[in-house]
Structure 1
Amino acid sequence: MRLLVLGAGGFIGRTTIREATAAGWQAVGLVRNDEAALRVLEAGGTPHRFSTGDPATWAEAARGADAVVDLIQPSLPGRMTLRAVRRISAARQETTAGVLRALCSLPAGERPLLVSVSGMDDLDPGPGRTVSHTSALRTVPVGFAHIGLPVRRMIEESGTPAVHVYLGNMVYGPGKGFGDLIVPGLARRRMPVPGTGRNRLPIIHVEDAARALAHVAGLSGAAGRTFVATDGTTTTLGELFDETARLLGASAPLRLPRWLAGPFAGEIAAQTLTLDTAADPSALMATGFEPRYPSFREGVPATLAAVAGTTGAAETGAAR
């Protein structure tokens, strides 16, 4: 089984390479620079340099592969304003167009399954405020749905065989937003909870997100299906931040009024973090998937241990 991962040098991408390799996949990481290539090698995969705008740089690598996981994401600014998200959405659509050109350049029988990855904001929770594999797409975008909804429409219009996986509104772990920003902010009491903190926030540990993507990529008959990948709990934003701060030995974070959260983090980020939504991952669980970290109570301690280990290693290297 051969799996290609677009954006393999990123937070979720390199973890997907590592987890897919551990599960028996021959994992190829499509990367755009030497630094990302090194991350793929360290994760146990094979790096392949490519350009999304030039299908010839990777179409042959995709020929006959079982699946391609698309984790390409433009760089995000510190404040996610509406103007910023529209700019990112345009860049993401351009990238997706390149991915689809590469896949459609292959004969139909040699095209891999496209595993399209997005966030919970794309799905309409309905009156019960719960999203699942049966949820309709939102008609009016909120949060990061400004990016995800146009991308899904492009994939559907292309006719490319695809399965759609929706990760939690926060993928946490050692790195990116949680490990690199939220954890240090909570440790210094400089990371407030936007809003009351009582809103339910669908979350998933990065290792489980990666495992879910590799699992879905290997499912028979996955094309055309939708899966929600979260830990299935009704964790609130306040619970996640408060417990993380407690484990760090820090004071409980302050609550920032919702009307101030927009100017602080950007309106789009504030919308995503303060949405009150539950998630139902039963369709994914029914395929035999089980999370390694069934809740943040197991996932956050593992994350903090990994962050501490990384910091310690960096300090030791600096001392030498």
Structure 2
Amino acid sequence: MKLLVLGAGGFIGRTAIREAVIAGWEAVGLVRNDEAAQRVRRAGGTPHHFSVGDPATWAEAARGAHAVLDLIQPSLPGRLTRRAIDRVAAVRGETTEGVLRTLLSLPAGERPLLVSVSGMDDLTPGPDRTVSHLSPPRSVPVGFAHVGLPVRRMVEASGTPAVHVCLGNMVYGAGKGFGDMIVPGLARGRMPVPGTGRNRLPIIHVEDAARALVHVAGLPGVAGRSFVATDGTVTTLGELFDETAGMLGAARPRRLPRWLTAAFAGGVAVRTLTLDVVADISALTETGFEPRYPSYREGVAATLAELSRPARRRAHAVR
């Protein structure tokens, strides 16, 4: 089966290409520049240059594909305020319109399944603060739901066959926010914990996030369904930061009031990091999926090992 990955040069995207190839898919990464194309090739996939707003550049590639994995994410500013997230949401809405326009340009019988990806902020917690595949979308957005909820509404209104997957609010690994910012900050004693750190934050290692998305893409009859993908454990933000600092041989990070961390990180970022929910991933595990990293202990250890490799250190030095 052929899987198309939008945003294939990104943190989760290139990992999804690699995991799809391992799982036996023909993996095609839709990219917009040569650097992203090189990442796709290194992951074992085939790059295809495209413009998200021009169906002619990738409609034929989508024709005959089994699924399209949408991992496009606009660049995020260093400080995620409400105004900043509204700008991100506007850009994401435009790209979603382009994706749907291309898929709807194909005959109904030739449209691939769209795997629409978002985060836990989109879901309304139950009385016990549990979110699951049965949780309805929030009526009032918080955090990254300012981006995810409009996308979900657009996808559902389009009639495109789609499955929705909500990943943990922190997808961690040797890259992006965790590997490139949080780990170095903890190592230097400059990464505080926003709030008390007692909030139960749903997390997932990037490899398991990619594996879960590829797994869902290959399931029969999932159009119209929703899945929640985390490692399935109850982990507090404080535990994650404290244990990571301990593995680095660094001091336990300070706790700072949420309002103070929001002053330099932005209220949206802090709200997303301090979300307090418990994820029920039973719908995913009942399909046969098992996390490679069943808790942050295994996942963080693997992340730090990858970050310590000489090639990785050289890459960070170049940055």
Structure 2-normalised TM-score? 0.98
| Superposed counterparts of 1:46-61, under 5 Å | 46-61=46-61
Question: How far does the alpha carbon of each residue in 1:61-97 deviate from its partner, in whole angstroms, 9 at most, with x for none?
Answer: 0001000000000000111000000000000000000
Question: How far does the alpha carbon of each residue in 1:194-216 deviate from its partner, in whole angstroms, 9 at most, with x for none?
Answer: 00000000000000000000000
Any idea what SS the aligned residue of 1:118 has?
strand
Question: How far does the alpha carbon of each residue in 1:143-191 deviate from its partner, in whole angstroms, 9 at most, with x for none?
Answer: 0000000000000110000000000000000000000000000000111
The question of 1:213 aligning with 2:187 is answered no
Matches of 2:9 and 2:310, distance apart in 1: 17
Any idea what SS the aligned residue of 2:309 has?
helix
Any idea what SS the aligned residue of 2:308 has?
helix
Q: Is the 8 A contact 2:143 2:268 kept in 1?
A: yes
Any idea what SS the aligned residue of 2:76 has?
coil
Sort the Cα spacing of 1:315 and 1:101 in 2 relative to 1 into closer, same or farther, 3 A: closer
Q: 1:286 corresponds to which letter in structure 2?
A: E
Any idea what SS the aligned residue of 1:52 has?
coil
Question: How far does the alpha carbon of each residue in 1:260-315 deviate from its partner, in whole angstroms, 9 at most, with x for none?
Answer: 12112100001011111110110000000000000001000000001111555517
Sort the Cα spacing of 1:88 and 1:317 in 2 relative to 1 into closer, same or farther, 3 A: closer
Where has structure 1 moved over 6 Å in runs of 4 or more? 315-318
Match of residue 123 from structure 1: 123
Question: How far does the alpha carbon of each residue in 1:12-48 deviate from its partner, in whole angstroms, 9 at most, with x for none?
Answer: 0000000000000000000000000000000000000
The question of 1:230 aligning with 2:234 is answered no
Q: How many angstroms does 1:126 deviate by?
A: 2.3
The question of 1:169 aligning with 2:166 is answered no
Matches of 1:127 and 1:265, distance apart in 2: 29
Match of residue 20 from structure 2: 20
Q: How many angstroms does 1:259 deviate by?
A: 1.8
Any idea what SS the aligned residue of 1:240 has?
helix
Sort the Cα spacing of 1:267 and 1:291 in 2 relative to 1 into closer, same or farther, 3 A: same
| Superposed counterparts of 1:9-88, under 5 Å | 9-88=9-88
Match of residue 292 from structure 2: 292
Matches of 1:37 and 1:313, distance apart in 2: 22
Question: How far does the alpha carbon of each residue in 1:100-130 deviate from its partner, in whole angstroms, 9 at most, with x for none?
Answer: 0000000011100000000000000121111
Q: How many angstroms does 1:50 deviate by?
A: 0.4
- Unmatched 5+ stretches in structure 2: none
Match of residue 250 from structure 2: 250
Any idea what SS the aligned residue of 1:142 has?
coil
Sort the Cα spacing of 1:140 and 1:313 in 2 relative to 1 into closer, same or farther, 3 A: closer
Matches of 1:212 and 1:302, distance apart in 2: 18
| Superposed counterparts of 1:261-300, under 5 Å | 261-300=261-300
| Superposed counterparts of 1:83-102, under 5 Å | 83-102=83-102
Q: 2:117 corresponds to which letter in structure 1?
A: V
Any idea what SS the aligned residue of 1:77 has?
coil
Q: 2:21 corresponds to which letter in structure 1?
A: T
Match of residue 136 from structure 2: 136
Question: How far does the alpha carbon of each residue in 1:196-246 deviate from its partner, in whole angstroms, 9 at most, with x for none?
Answer: 000000000000000000000000001000000001111000000000000
Matches of 1:183 and 1:289, distance apart in 2: 28
Structure 1-normalised TM-score? 0.98
For this pair of structures, how many residues does the alignment match?
Answer: 318
| RMSD over aligned Cα atoms | 1.3
- Unmatched 5+ stretches in structure 1: none
| Superposed counterparts of 1:177-188, under 5 Å | 177-188=177-188
Sort the Cα spacing of 1:316 and 1:55 in 2 relative to 1 into closer, same or farther, 3 A: closer
Q: 1:203 corresponds to which letter in structure 2?
A: I
